[in-house]
Amino acid sequence: MSYSIKEVADMMGVSTSTLRYYDQEGLLPDLKRVNGIRVFEDKDFKWLRVLNCLKNTNMPIKKIKEYVELAKQGDASLEERYQLILEQKNVILEQIKEWKYYLKEIEYKEWYYETAIKAGTEEAVKDCTPETPTLAVDRIPQKEKNRKKE
């Protein structure tokens, strides 16, 4: 089945300008054209999902282009593509770790406000200080012990 750029954009949850950009950057190497008009086919969706994934996990366009060029080489580039995917996986895992850290802070603030609202005052949580934190993320970092006092 064939699809217009608008139909594909709606189906993929991206803008038509994103798809045009992908095409202009050479990220859609096998895209069919009829009278100069982009025509997407069922086979294109697998590739579009990969591009969308790489883009949404903050892979730089330069790296995505590298991945596309390697994919054009077929089996000869399996190892290189695998390494790019592993690198991106590590980027994602670091992002998850960061987000989990920030989630702890948000959960602390959620508890803080729920407690204060229930009591009708922030006085109810006044004893929660950096010296007596409820979560590790609420602690003020300590200076290194071996560092000279200034």
Q: What is the pLDDT of residues 101-150, one digit of tens each?
A: 998 888 888 888 888 899 999 888 877 754 455 555 555 555 555 544 44
CATH dotted code for 2-57: 1.10.1660.10
3-class DSSP string for 72-111: HCHHHHHHHHHHHHHHHHHHHHHHHHHHHHHHHHHHHHHH
- In whole angstroms, how far apart are CA 22 and each of 2, 17, 60? 18, 9, 13
Reported as a pLDDT band with limits 50, 70 and 90, residue 14 is very high
Domain boundaries, the chain: 2-57, 94-138
